[in-house]
Structure 1
Amino acid sequence: MSVSNLLLNKHNPDVLTCIANLSNDEVFTPPEMAAAMLDLAAEAWARDHNGENLWANPNARVLDPFVKTGVFLREATHRFNDGLASLIPDPQERVNHILTKQIFGIAITELTALMARRSVYCSKYANSEHSICTAFDTPEGNIWFERTEHTWDDKTGTRESHVDPLSGEEIFIRTGRRCSYCGAGEEDYGRGEDLETHAYTFIHTDDIKKRVNEIFGASMHFDLIVGNPPYQLGSAGGTRDIPIYQKFVAQAKELDPQLLTMVIPSRWMATGLGLNEFRQDMLSDRKLSVLVDYQNAAEVFPGVGLNGGACYFLRDATHDGDCEVTTIRGGIASSPTMRRLDEFDILVRDAEALPILRKVLADNPMSINSILARDKEFGWTSNFRDFSVHPQEGLIPIHYIEKMQRKVGYISRAQVTKSVELIDKWKVLVPAVGSGREREKAGVDLVLGPSQIAAAPSVCTQSFLFFYSDTEAEAVSIRSYYSTKFFRFLVSLRKITQHATHSTYSWVPMQSWDREWTDAELYAKYRLSDEEVSYIESLIRPMELD
C-alpha cells in the first residue's frame, strides 16, 4: 500500500477506539475527541492569522508531550498531509517533511512510545522498512521516551533507626520520602529497575525549555501543544490520590505555544487536593478562550471511573478576554456562553445557574456555614470505635456509620476533648459523602444524603458533618431547609464529586429558624422567575423526610 493510501485509509472501527485504558490515571483519548480538539485549534489559528489554514503551513510544529496511543499526532499528520498536498506534491517527500519537521511527541512509558510510533509511523521503529517515513535514522524518530527516575526529597518522610547487620552499629534511614517534582511516594514508586517509574519526563525538570531542546536536539518552538496528560498518582494505601495533571498544564504554558489544548478532569473547577492555586490560575487566565465541559466523564471515557466529569480547553496566546464555555450533559450541549471565569472563587459549571446565584448572593448574606461543624469536629475519624455499643448510665450517644449503616454508640463526656461546647447542642447530622452523581445518569440528583436529628447531648465521628442549634424546634427548621430543592441546588453548584465538605455549603444563606421551610417560600423570597424555578425543579429530586 502506498504512503498516501496508508494515511488516507480509514478502517471501521478505528483501532484506537478498541484499546482498553491502561488505568484510570492514564486514560486514552477517543479519536473523536482528539479530532474535535485539533479542529478547535485550527479554527483559532485561522482567526489569529487572517484565515490561514494551520494544516497548510509547512513550518507549524505540533507537540504532544504526554503521548499514549499517538492519536493526536496521527490525526495532526492526516491534516498536514491534506493541507500540504499542493505545496509538496510528492507523497513521500510530504510525509517525510511532516514527520521529521512538524510532528513531535514525548511518550509517558516505553509501551506507549511503541504504540504511538505504530500509530504515527505505521511501525514501532521509525527507521524500519515498514515505516512510512524514510528520513529517520533512529528507531524513535520524533516520538521520544527515556526512563526517568524520581528525585526523592530527604526533607520529607520519616527518619528511622536501624542496626547495621554487619557492623552492629546504629544507622538512620529516611523512609517514606516523596519526589520533589511530582509528590510520588517512594514506597509506592521506588519499585526497582524492572518496573515503570511513572516519573514523567515533562514534569521532572526545572527548565522545560532546555529539556525539550535536549530531547529533540535543536532549539524548539511549538505552535500547538495538544494532549491528554496522566491525571494522578496513587498514594500509600490508595486513600488519597495525588493530582498531577495541573503540573503538565503549567509546564506546557512554560513552552509558550501559541495554542495549547488539553483534556483534563473537571474537578479542578471546584475541588481537588492541592489544586487551589491551579484553579485560581485557570480562572484568572484571560488567554483561556474555549472550555468544553462534560459533566459525566463516561460520555467521553466509557468504563473509566472519573468522578466529577472531564473537560478540554483551548488557550490562545493572542486571546485576552472572556472564555466561551459549553456544558455537555446527557449528550446535549448547551449553547456556548461567553463567561468571565473568575466571577466566583470556583467555576459555576452551568451558565443557567448564574442568575439564580447572583440573586441569592446579592445582599452578601451570612452563610449557613456559620452553624456547620468542621470535618472531624470532635477529633475522631470515621474509623473511630473506642466506645460502647450498649447504652450505659452517664454515657452520651455517638453517631457513626459502619458498613454503610448509620448506628449509635455510647461514650463518656471525658473522652470528648475537642469542641466540648457542642456536646449539648441539638444537631442535624448530614453525611460527609453525598448521594453520588445521579444527575449525570438520570438528569436529576439528590445532591446530598438524608439528614437526621440528633438530640442533645450527642457527638459523632467524621462520617458526619452537622448543623447545630439550641433547641429541637430550630433543628427541625434547619432540617426542613436542608431537604428543599433550593438548598440542595445551591450546594450542587460547589459539589462536583461525592464528598460534601464544609466549603460546599458556602453559598447557602442563613434563614430564621422559626418555621419549616418550603421551596415555594424560598423561591418567592429570592424573587426567582418561573424559568429559574423550572430549572431548579428539573435538576433536583425531592427529598423525603422520615
Structure 2
Amino acid sequence: MKKRHNPDVLNCLANLSSDEVFTTPSLANEILDSLPKEIFEDKTSTFIDPCLKSGIFLREIAKRLDKQLVNTLPEKTKRIENIFKNQVFGIATTELTSLMGRRTLYCSKKADSKYSLFDASVNESGNIFYSRSNHLWVNSRCKYCGAPQDAYNRNDELETYAYPFIHKDNPNLFFDMKFDVVIGNPPYQISDSGFGKSAKPIYNRFIEQAKKLNPRHLLMIIPSRWYAGGKGLDEFRNEMLNDKRIKKIVDYPEAKDCFPGVDIAGGVCYFHWQRDYEGLTEVINNWRDEKQISYRKLNEFDTFIRFGIASNIIKKIRTKNELTLDSVVSSRAAFGLTTTVKAKETGDLNLITSKGEGKISSGEVLNNKELIPKWKVLTSNISYDHAGQPNKNGERKVLAKLFLAPPNTVCTETYLVIDTFDNQEMAENLEAFLKLKFTRFLIAQMTVSQHITKGRFAFVPKLNWNKKYSDNELYSKYELDSEEINFIEKTIMKME
C-alpha cells in the first residue's frame, strides 16, 4: 500500500510581511527543546503564548504533554481535558489569529463545538483570549506601545494593532494565574509615521510585559537588531545584556535560515530566560551550516557581539589600551548640510552629495568650518551590506563607498568624515587602513542595521597614520591565532 503524505498545513502558511512572521513547526519544536523535559511531565505546569498567531507553540506543547503525562494521567480523555483546560493558554494578536489558533489547538475555530478536541463545557474561546483593544493616547502617542495617533486612531472596520497583551498595565488580568512558561513570536515593529517606511520596534514591549508575569521560563524569537540598540532599543538592550538569567541565545545571522523566504535585516534570534538561573549565557550561532558555541557574560561590551570568536578578537585588541576611531569620526552632518542640500553650479567650495558633485558657497557651511582646508577621508553612512547580510559566499564588504576629499571640499550628511589631515599621505594611509579586512571586520561587529554611524568604529584602534598597514601586520600585532585570522578572512570580502 502506498504511504500517504499528509503535510503539516502550518508549514505552508505564507507570511503577510516581515513584521509578523509565522513560526514553522520545526522551529517551534527547536525552541521547546530548550525547556527541561520534566516540565512536560508535570500535570500542573502551565504555558502561555501571549502573542499567538498560528497557534503552533500551543499545539506542539499539547502534543508533548499528551505524550509525557501518560503515566500521571493514563486515561486519554482526562489527560486531554487537563491539558486543554488547565495547562495551555494563549492571547491572540488579532481576531483572525484567534480563530486560526483555536483551529490549530482544538481542531475547531470554536472550542465548544462538536468538532473540538476539548469536550468539557467551555465557552467558544476556550483558553485562547482575544478582544479588540484600543490605544490609550497621551500626547498623540499610545501610552503602551508608542503608536502614533494619526496613523492608528481607526474606526471599527480597521485593525488597530493594539495588541491585547501589551495594552494593559497588569498582564495577570487576562487569566489571573501564574504561568511556568511564557513562549512566543511577537510582532516585530509598528509604523511610527516617520519618513518613508519608518517603523519602531515593538517586540521589546512584549518581553518587558512577559517578565511581569514572573514565569519560570521565558522564550521568545525576535529580530537581532537589539544587539546594537538604537531606534528605541538602547534601554532594552542594556537590560538584556545585564540580565544574568538569560541562559541561552540561539542566533541566526541570516533570517532565511530560520524563516524561509523572509528577509529580516540583521537576522533573528531566540532566547531562553530562566527565572532561577544566574550565570554565563550559552550563545549558539547558526552560520553557514555550522554551529559556533560560546559561553559568555552578555555585558562584556556595551553592545552584544554576535560571534564568540569575534569577542575574543576584540578582547585581544583592547589589551593594547589604544584610542579607538570613534573618538575622531564625525557625528551626523559634519558640515551641517542635510541630504536635502543640492549642489549648485557656482560656489567657492566643492560639494559631494548622494546625487553627485557640484559647488556650494562657504557661507552655507554651518559646522566645522576649520576642516574645510584639510584632506578628508569619507565613507557612506549606509552600509554596503543589507543590514549585516552577507553575500552568497558568506562575506561582507561593510563600507559601501570610501574615498578622499581634497581641501576646499565638503559633503552632505550622506557621508561621514572619518578623520581630517593637513597632508595627503596620512589621509591615504587611513583610507588604506579602512579597506583592510581586519578593520572592516571590527566595524561589522557593531553593524546589524543599515546605518554607519561614529559608534560603529568603537572597536577600531586609532593608529599612527604616518605609515601604511597590512592585514598580516595587524594580525601579528594583536596576536590573532590561525582560527581567528581564518574567520576574518572568510567573512570579509576584499575591498579595492
What is the one-letter code of the residue matched to 2:31?
M
- Is residue 194 of structure 1 aligned with residue 157 of structure 2? yes
Instruction: Please tell me whether the aligned partners of residues 337 and 365 of structure 2 are also in contact (alpha carbons under 8 angstroms).
Output: no
Query: C-alpha deviations, 1:45-86, integer Å up to 9, x for none?
Result: xxxxxxxx2212111100000000000000001011111223
Answering whether residue 310 of structure 2 is matched by residue 347 of structure 1, we say no
Which AA in structure 2 matches 1:313? Answer: F
Q: Note the residue ranges of structure 1 that are not aligned, 5 or more in a row.
A: 1-9, 44-52, 155-176
**Letter aligned with residue 462 of structure 1:** E
Q: Which residue is 1:455 aligned to?
A: 406
Tell me what 1:225 maps to.
182
Q: Does 1:40 align with 2:31?
A: no
Gaps of 5+ in 2: none
Which one-letter code corresponds to 1:419 in the other structure?
A: N
Amino acid at match of 1:512: N
1:74 correspondence with 2:59: yes
Q: Is 1:181 matched up with 2:144?
A: yes
- Written as runs of structure 1 = structure 2, the 5 A alignment for 1:231-270 is 231-236=188-193, 237-270=195-228
Secondary structure of the residue aligned to 1:439 is: coil
Per the TM alignment, residue 438 of structure 1 is displaced from its structure 2 partner at its CA by 4.9
The 2-side partners of 1:440 and 1:229 are apart by: 28
Q: Is residue 464 from structure 1 mapped to residue 415 from structure 2 by the alignment?
A: yes
User: 1:338 corresponds to which residue?
Assistant: 295
Residue by residue, what CA displacement relative to the aligned partner does 1:99-133 show, whole Å, maximum 9, x if unpaired? 01101000000000000000000000111111110
Match of 2:8 in 1: 14
Separation in structure 2 between the aligned mates of residue 242 and residue 462 of structure 1, nearest angstrom: 22
- Return the match for 2:74 from 86, 89, 92: 89
The CA deviation at 1:201 is: 1.4
Distance across 2 between alignment mates of 1:192 and 1:425? 58
Equivalent position SS for 2:468: coil
2:370 match: 421
* Aligned partner letter, 2:85: T
Quote the Cα distance in structure 2 between the aligned partners of 1:272 and 1:456. Answer: 34
Per-residue CA shift, 1:314-353, capped at 9, x if unaligned? 111121110111001123212x321111111011111112
> Please, which moves more after superposition, 291-300 or 520-529?
520-529
Alpha-carbon separation, structure 2, partners of 1:272 and 1:178? 19
CA contact (8 A) 1:267 1:496 kept: yes
**8 Å CA contact 2:337, 2:366 repeated in 1:** no
CA distance in 2, matches of 1:420, 1:239: 34
- What value does the CA root-mean-square deviation take over the aligned residues? 1.6
Aligned match of 1:401 in 354, 357, 376? 354
Moved more, 370-379 or 448-457: 370-379
Whether the aligned pair in 1 keeps the contact of 2:144 and 2:166 (CA below 8 Å) is: yes
**Counterpart in the other structure of 2:243:** 285
Answer with 408-417 or 422-431: which moved more.
Answer: 422-431
Kept after mapping to 2: 8 A contact 1:481/1:487: yes
Shift of 1:527: 2.4
Tell me which residue corresponds to 2:390: 439
State how far apart, in whole Å, the 2-side matches of 1:182 and 1:79 are. Answer: 34
Note if contact 1:263-1:313 (Cα within 8 Å) is conserved in structure 2.
yes
1:23 paired residue among 17, 20, 33: 17
In structure 2, what is the Cα distance between the partners aligned to 1:84 and 1:24? 37
Instruction: Give the partner amino acid of 2:89.
Output: F
Tell me, in whole angstroms, the C-alpha distance in 2 between the residues paired with 1:136 and 1:495: 54
Shift of 1:222: 0.4
Tell me which amino acid in the other structure corresponds to 2:11: T
After the TM superposition, which of the residue ranges 180-189 and 233-242 deviates more from structure 2? 233-242
The answer to whether the 8 Å contact 1:296/1:440 transfers is: no
Residue 530 of structure 1 is matched in structure 2 by 482
Q: Secondary structure at the match of 1:40?
A: coil
Distance 1:187 1:263, change over 3 A: same
| Aligned with residue 130 of structure 1, among 112, 115, 118 | 115
Offset of residue 204 of structure 1: 1.2
After TM superposition, the score normalised by the length of structure 1 is 0.87
Quote the Cα distance in structure 2 between the aligned partners of 1:529 and 1:288: 30
- State the distance in 1 between where 2:70 and 2:49 align: 23
State whether residues 296 and 308 of structure 1, in contact with CA within 8 Å, keep that contact through their aligned partners in structure 2.
yes
Match of 1:65 among 50, 68, 71: 50
Number of the residue aligned with 1:98: 83
Counterpart secondary structure, 1:293: strand
Identity %: 39
User: Could you say what secondary structure the match of 2:50 adopts?
Assistant: strand
- Using the alignment, how far apart are the partners of 2:415 and 2:13 within structure 1? 41
Counterpart Cα distance in 1 of 2:192 and 2:311? 37
Instruction: Work out the CA distance in 1 between the residues paired with 2:443 and 2:364.
Output: 33
Q: Which amino acid aligns with 1:500?
A: I
1:72 aligns to what SS in structure 2? helix
TM-score, normalised with respect to structure 2: 0.95
Conserved? CA contact 1:432–1:500, under 8 Å: yes
Matched, 1:315 2:264: no
Cα 1:522–1:476 change in 2 (3 A) is same
Q: In structure 1, how many angstroms separate the alpha carbons of the residues matched to 2:268 and 2:100?
A: 24
- 2:98 is aligned to 113
1:440 Cα shift? 5.9
**Cα shift at 1:11:** 6.4
1:452 maps to a residue whose letter is F
2:329 aligned to which of 368, 372, 375? 372
1:293, CA displacement in angstroms? 0.5
The equivalent position to 2:451 in structure 1, one of 490, 499, 513, is 499
The structural deviation recorded for 1:412 is 0.1
Residue 479 of structure 2 corresponds to residue 516 of structure 1: no
Structure 1 residues 27 and 11: alpha-carbon distance in aligned structure 2, compared to 1, 3 A threshold: farther
